Structure 1
Amino acid sequence: MVDPTSDHHEDLDESEAPDCEQCGDAIVNEPTHREVTWIEDDTVREAHFCDESCLNAWDER
């Protein structure tokens, strides 16, 4: 898998792309990609989002 913190919005294969936590779409070549990280039970967790609207919808639940 590609390092999700890298500048990977170019030339990324869909099979290696992270999926949007809200809508489930693969995030390929999306400069609007957003990521949230947090600590839960001493483990780093992360969630990826296509854009700000998916992030906001996930955040509101």
Structure 2
Amino acid sequence: MLTPQEIAQRQRAVEDALASQRLEGLEPDAQALHQMQQYVQGHVELADIVAMFSRRVGNGEVHV
């Protein structure tokens, strides 16, 4: 279980990542946003999100 400080740190990291993407003109889809919130809450780790995204790209669900 994550501490409140760890959750806050993860939330800031996600907000920073989203801001960076949006500055580049990109908007993550609903599934990516959901996965990011799962990370904030400690249900998944970054490596899990990268693996899920890679599978989605490989399946043609996401175009990069």
- TM-score, structure 1 normalization: 0.30
The structure with more strand, counted as a fraction of residues: 1
Structure number with larger C-alpha Rg: 2
- TM-score, structure 2 normalization: 0.29
